[in-house]
Each structure stands twice: as C-alpha cells, then as structure tokens.
Structure 1
Amino acid sequence: MTPKFRLLYLSIIFLIPVFLFSQIKSNNDVIIKKIQKKAAEYKSEINFTKSQSFYKKKDWDSTLIYSMKQLSSNTNKEIADYCHFFRGIAFKEKDLYKESKKELLLISNQFDFFTSVQIHLGTISFQLSEFRTAIRYYEKALQSPLIKNQYYSFAKTQEGIGSSYIFLKEYNKAEDCLMKNLQINEKAKNKAGLYNAYNILANLYYVQGKNAKAIHYFEKAYLLSKDINENYIKNLAAFNMAVFEENRSNFKQALGYRKEAEQWNDSLNNQNKIWAVADFEKKFAVAQKQKQIKVLEVENELKNNQRNWLFFSAMSLLALLTAGIYLYAQKVKNAKIILLQKNKLDELNTTKDQLFSIVSHDLRSSVNALKTSNTKLSATLESKNYEELNQLIIQNSGIANGAYSLLDNLLHWAMLQTKQLYFHKESVHLYSIVQQMEYNYKPLLLDKSIEFENLVSKNSFIFVDLDSLKIILRNLLDNAIKFSNENGKISFTTATTKNSFWDLVIKDTGIGMTQNTINELLNDSELLSKKNNSEIIGTGLGFQLCKQMIQKNNGILAIESEINKGTTITLSFPKTAQNG
C-alpha cells in the first residue's frame, strides 16, 4: 500500500464509523419514543415489550433473545419489522456486520424508519468494503422527501457516498458529494461534522497528488481540532499533519506534529487508566465498607452475649443451682460456636490470601506482558512495520481480554460469597443462549480454526436465572477454546430426561485432563487448580464460580475426560412447565 493510501485508511476508515454512527444515534430519541408508543399499542405481546425495553437500555444480548422469541410466535408484519430492526442494530453494535445486514434486509419498505434502515445498511456495507453497495443504499435514503430536513442524515449520507467513491477512485464524484457535506456542516456550524468534512476532503486531494489543496484542508482540520474536546481527534489531526510533512520531507515540522500526537495519545491512555483506577477504588471502598459492617455485627453480637451473661448471673443469685447448670451449658455452647466461627474465619482468610496471591500474580503477569508488548509496539510504529503492528495489537487485545475475564470472575465470585448476587429465575430458550455464545466467541473460534456446532434442541426451555446461565456458559466455552488445539471441534447438544431435566452436553476435542484433575475441580474445598500443561495454567476461579451458580439454579454438573482425547461436561437444569 502506498503512503497516500496508508494515510487515507488511517483518516477515513476510523472516522466514518465513529461520526456516522454518532450522528445517526442523535436521532435515537425520536425512534425510542415511537418504539415506546408501539409497545404500548401491543402491550399484550410480552416478548415484544421486553425486547424494546432491552433495546432502550442497550442490553444487546437480551434484545436478541426476546426479539427472537417474538419472531418465533409472531404473525404481525409491523411487529416483525420492529423486531428485525432491534436485531439488526444489536448485531451492528456487537460488530457482527453480516448478521446485522441480514436482519435489516428483512424489513419491509412500509417500516416507520425505513430511511434510517437504508443509512444503516449503507454504513454496514462501507464497513464490509462493499462500496458500490454502500452507495446504492445511501442513494435510496436520499430519495426520501424528508431527509433534507434532517441535517445529520443528509450530511452523513453525502459523506458516506463521497467516501465510498474515494475507495472506488472516482474522485470527481467523491468531490461533488463531499463538498455538499461540507456546505451542510458549515451552515449548521457543527464542529464535529466540519472536522470530519475537512479531513476527508484533505485525503481526497492528497491521494490525487493535489498537495496544495490537501494541506489547506489538513490545516483547517488541525486548527478545528483545538476546539473539539476529544483527545483521539486531536491525536489524529496532529498525526495526519506529521505524515503529510514527512512525505514532503519537512522532517522538523513532522517531528513537532508527531510529538504532539504522542502527547494526545498519552493523555488518552492516562484518561483510560484514571477511569480504571477510579472504578477499582470504588469497588475496593465498597468491599471495605462491607468489612466494617461485618465487624460491627460481630461487636453487636458480642455485646448481646455479654448482656445475656450478666442477666443469667443475676438470676443465679435467686436460683444458684439452676442458674449454675444453665450458665455452664451456655458456656459450652458458646465455646463451640466461637470455635466453629474461628475455624470458618481461618479458612476464609486462607482462601482470601491464596486468591489474592494468585490473582495478583496473574494480573502482574498480564500487566508486565502488556508493558513489554507496548514497548515493541512503539518500536514497530516508528519502523512502520504495519504487519507486525497488527500482530502486536491482536496480542495486546488477548492479554487485556484475559485480565478482564479474570477480574470479571473475581467480582462475581466475591458477590456470590457475600450474598449480593441477585437471582431471578425465568423461562429461558436454551438454543438462543448457545447461539448468542457462538456469536460472541466467533473471533476466538476463527482465530484457532475451531469448528463450532450448535445442536441444541430448539424446543429446550429451562427454568434458571438468565445472567448466571450466561456466566456459566461463557466460562465453560472460554475454557473449551483455551484448552483446544487448532482445527479442533466444540459442540453443544441436548438430551431430555424422565425427571423433568434438560441435559446440556458441552464436548471438545482438546488436551483433556486426568481423573485427579477432575476430582480437584469438583472438590468444593479446592479453589485453585492447574492443567497438566506447563503453558496453560488457570486459577480455577471461573470453574468454582460456575459450580456455585449451577447449584443456585438447582442444576447438576458432571465431567468426563481423557488426556489428548478431549473433555465432555454435562449440565442438567430443570425444564420449564411448557416442556412437561
């Protein structure tokens, strides 16, 4: 790829989704109000009501589940259009563009927000590099008689068409559309829209070798970025100027811009770190407050025991023999209670120390790996080795995801131990949940070329808490992927039993484990465990969390495994009433 097109990809590919999506979302209030009215009109359709509620809350997983339930039993075309719209937006927000496009294409042209659907389809096609298709959808949106009164839709549709023409190298058509976009944003005095318009026009001229026009718009974008309170925009504006000056051999000016870009990038990273630390401190403060409450409860209990002892001592003056026997019995009983409490406290403290030690070690390892990788990343960025840069970014993402998964399991485990986790059981469509897990883990499955089979019965409904079920399946699927070799296979199947249970069988062709390891995992007293593989080590916290949540849902867990022959995990959950 030439230097010109490198700059073009950096400036356009990252900006178009951000600004186009943000502008379309500004119309979301109108859509939400209309959806709420429609839900009130069809209030007897429970699944439709739930799906619109979760759509409003941006809970995309639940939106997908309840919209699918509605579609499976729906005969109303208007409700079906809304459900496909919910699913299309939910998939798009999860970056599953092909699935999003399939859902949006099922919407009829009588839908209330059909123009918005066309703009979404144009944006999704642009993300998939289907530029001709993107232009076709944008032009359909422009045919709406109302779109010229909708600034954000009209401007960004012109911008989307112009950007698509740039990648198709039809520069005259691109310039015409992008100039219209610029005029609209100038009239509306929208700084974010103007910045984007300047930046894309600069790239249009730059890729054609029209450097005088290109630098004019790059400089306007750079100056305007000073008035926009977004660090990543300031970083990109300075970076574009640096690349442009480097290509003109103005290395002194380029160095100044590159230093500024790095400063804004550092500010952005520091801001993210501050948010992460603040969140951690908040959780730590909550934990400390819980400890203080426990201490006060123990002190109150001791004071109550002291009052009782004084009362029985007074009674002993009136009835020496009876009171003496009673006090002796109480003393023995209290001693047993205190001893049990001490043993339990010692056990909890040991578990806590062991957990903190291992979690701290794992977090330290992740942070150290991230630091090392970031050092390589900086060196690679300077050498402009974009292939290695991409590999390092993927590596950083994997490290961050691993640390996040560890902290997420730790949080849920702590909440479960302190009885703060709320369980609400309801009827859950098991096939939909497994299908959602497949969507969520598709990138990891593709990365290791693992075949995934969802053979769960579409008639399987179980009576469990939805959130805890997701945590259970997420941890088990994550382990199956982690301990599977490349080109392996993972399958989810179901079987019904005579005792009103559904059996969910999770089978992989991974490295397997010994019977000793299985016994260790199933032992409630064992918090931590390791696989017999020097390169794959886990805290076992996620599996212990799964066991406790399975018990909370009245479920049953069984494990079968052999070394190098894979692992089979069977989960049994109660059926709902409709399954008999």
Structure 2
Amino acid sequence: MNAKIKISFLLILLSVSTFIYSQQKNIDKTFEIEIKNKSSKFTKEANFHKAQLFFLAEKWNSTLVYSMKQLSVNSNDVELNDYCHFFRGFSFKQKKLFKESQKELNKISSDFEFYNRVKMILGEIALEQNEFQKAINYFEELEDIADTNFFGLKTSKVNHNLGICYLHLNDFKKAESYLIKSTKLQEIEKDTLMLVGAYGDIATLYYDQYKDNEAIPYFEKAYHLSKKTNDFQLKKTAAMNMAVVEENRKNFPLALTYRKEFEKWKDSLNDQNKVWAVAELEKQFAVKQKQKEVTVLQAENKLKVAERNGLFYSSVSLLLLFGAGTYFYRQKVKNNKIILAQKSELDELNATKDKLFSIVSHDLRSSVSALKTSNTKLQHSLETKNFTELDIQLNNNSAITNGAYNLLDNLLHWALLQTKQSYFNRESQRLFFIVEQTAYNYTPLMLDKNIKFENKVSKSALVFVDQESLKMILRNFLDNAIKFSNQEGEITVYSRDSNEDYWDLVIEDSGLGMNDVTCQELMKETVLLSKKINEDIVGTGLGLQLCKSMIKKNGGKFRIESEEGKGTKMIVSLPKTQKDG
C-alpha cells in the first residue's frame, strides 16, 4: 500500500511539472503577433507602449510599473484599460502572486479581444490554488470554443485541465473522458511535453482506482516519450516512477536500473542548474560593467552641462531669491492674519470658559442654597413631627442632591475629555440591558413625578460602543427627559433598525418640547449652550455638549426632533456590532 501511495504521488508530480513547464512558454508566437496587432493603435501612449514592449520581453516587474502608470492617467478608453489590466494580471500570475492577478483580471470587460484567454488564466489560477470546482466553471465556458479564438492556446489544454480537476475531485469517470479526449488531440498535435504529462495523468487515474494493468502501459508510454524531450526534470521523474513500478512487480534488478537512470538525470539537472546559475552571474557582471560605463558617461555629461549652464543657474538663483523674499513677505502677512484669528478664537473660548464657570458656580450655589433652606424646613418638620412635610422635604433634598451630582459628574467628564484623560474602550454591547440598568437609577425621580416609563429597546440590538460613555449619554438624556416632563408624563426608550450600519436609540418624552430655533441652537458645536426657555428649569448645556462629544467619539450620530407642548425625541445613531460570516 505504501508503494502504491508513493507511485501515485510521483505520477501527479509528473503531471504538475508538465503543467508548469507548459506555462514557461509564457507568450507563444501567435499570441505575441495578436498582441502587437491589436494594441498598435495605442502606441502613442508612452507608458502603454513601454508596458507592451516589456510584456512581450517577459520582464514582468517593468510591465507592472508602466501599466500602472498608464492606468493612473485616468483614461476613459475601456479597451486601453483592459490591455493594462491584462498585462498586470498576466505578470502577477507569472510572479505567483495569484490574488493580485485575479483582482486585475476581474477588472477586464467581457468585450476584451482576449477575454477567452482571461478566462483560461483565471481557471489555471484556481487550479493552482486547488479550487477545483471554481476552475471547472471557467474551463467549461471554454470547452466548445475553437482553437483560433484562443490565439495560441489549444482545446486539448482545456480538456486536459478539466480532466485534472475531476481527477482531484475523484470523479474518475469524467476525468477519464476528458483526459482521453485531451490525449487524442495532443497526439494529433504531436505535443510531446504535454503528452508525457497526459499519459502520467491517465496512469494516475487508473492507479487510484486500483486498475494497475491499465495504468502501467500509460506509465511506460510516459517514460518512453520522456526520452524524446530535453527536459531533465521529466526524464528524472519518469525514471523514478518506472523504478517504483518495477519494485511493485518485484523486479528489483530492473528497478535498480531505473533508479540509476534517475540519479543520472538528477545529476544532469543539477549540472544544468549550475550552468544557468553561472550564466546568470555572468549576465549580472556584464550588466554591472555596463552600468559603470553609463555612470562615467553620465558624470561627464553632468560636468559639461554644469559648465555650459553656470550663467543660467546664476540668473535662476537671483530669480529664486527674489521669489523667496516675496513668498516670505506674503507668509508673514498670512501668519499675522492667522494669529489675529487665533486670538479672536481664544478670546471667544475664554469668554465661554468664564460664562461656564459663572453658570456652574451659580447652579452649585443655587443647589447648596436650596439644600440649606430645605434642611431648615426638614429640621422644623422633625421638631413638629410633621411626617408628611418631612417626606416632601426628603424627596426635595434627594432631587437637589441628584441635580448637583449630575452637574459635577458632567463637569468631571468634560474636564477629562478636554485633557484627553478619559478611559475609552469600544466593544460589543447589548443595548437593552444598558438602558435597563441606567433607567433603574432614575426610578425614584420618575415615581416622584408619577411618570410612566417604558423600555422598548430590541433585545437583539448589539452596538459597538464604550459602555461607560453610553451610560453617561443615557443618564443625561433621561435626566433632561424627567426634568422637562410634566406630572404624569410619559418617557419611552426604543430602538430602530436604521440601516445595515446603525441602530437608532430614541429617548422620547411627552414634556415641554422646543421650537425649531432652540433645536438648531442645541445642535451647534459650541462649548456652552444657552439656558432653557423655562426659567424654573435651568442648566449649563454642558451635559448635552458632553453627550454630543461622546456620541461622535463612539462613531455615532445625533439629532433632535421636537415640537413645543408635544414633547421631544433625542435620537442617537450607534454603530452596529458587525457579525462574522
């Protein structure tokens, strides 16, 4: 069984090596002629002309460079772009960069002259990447196309590739049909190299089905035919396969003969590689010598140009000096304008800061004063044992303390945000439970005003946000909703599946509402907002500004919908958690 596995592996290796070898004849003559004829009308495009010449010379790196330069010109000529993408896709394939090759080839329009060749290349890439079904889809589209439409490629090659795909998929019946069909065509074409691989593939097909008697004759054909080639790799592999066959037959003397032949071709292949390596080194040495000569000539030319154009450069230097003086003068004027604008902005920010401190201190003083007054009444209620009034004062104290705490909390977060000290970590969060947790802390305040609250957020809503900043946003919006709601009002929080990227979180109340002017004022990007229209309910606007900053930092969006006397909707669009697959 081990021997059989070994011979099967070698047979496949023979096929693959033949496949690779056939690809080394990169641009056949027929195809080269067609490329020259079809693309000649674009030779006025300098970059394209160079790309075409390097493509035909099989210099893939230079082809990639100049075809990219041509594409960067943003030409609207579809055919010209198709040629450039084809050159790039073909070059990437030769460099074994298959993903880049597929990307370029898929950009080619179906009207391209060589579109059948494009499909063939895409199929070959899929075959090399072991994506056999994908390769079959490409090759089947080419199955009934005449050879003349391939510009040098053969129908036998299509059948051969289909046979290889089905062989790898263990569909032996289809593999046999295509491989036999391909072999017959190759015998007519007398394509020796491809026939060696084809015989090896058929031998593999039968051997994988334990049809040794049918496999070995084809294997022998591959061996005898390999002797007519100059490819040492094919000769070496064919000899090794015959050695394994004879070992399976227990004919060890003959197997030894084949193994010696294998070693001979192996040594020949190594010698050939060494010769090629030496030739490559000689070529590199010659190129370096030529480069040195070119460098010397360039140095001499530079010296002559420097002597000839000395006066010219002196004149240019004077002009540049004059231009530099003019430039720096204009820059100075421009910088002065920028400094004045920055001073104006700084003055505005300082005024805003002073206003912020003034309102914050006023609100804190008002809260402390209200707390002192409430504590005096609370003490009096304790002395008189007026428990009804005592309960009212305790609730009042709680509301005052909560308002002051929220103000200080917003002020702290605002300071941390301004100094970039706040901790921020975005991750997947379930929106329903965050709303539920935050709203729980406001239950006493809502009960005090007899406000009906509903959490209608979808339990399937997943958002990608920082949890603490989202809670802070919800606290501010719920606090405002309670503050501006009437007794026995309603507050509803719900979600809307806005689009594939965002969930909308809506905090809706039935309170005082606002007109359009106030809404627009609230949406302005200012550090400090105006106080609310109701003088009994005042605020710095710091909380809303902080919310807008946090929403933006989370990659979200914010808008307000409101109408006076009918309530307000605060709408926060939050990025969805992207699910895998």
TM-score (norm 1): 0.47
TM-score (norm 2): 0.47
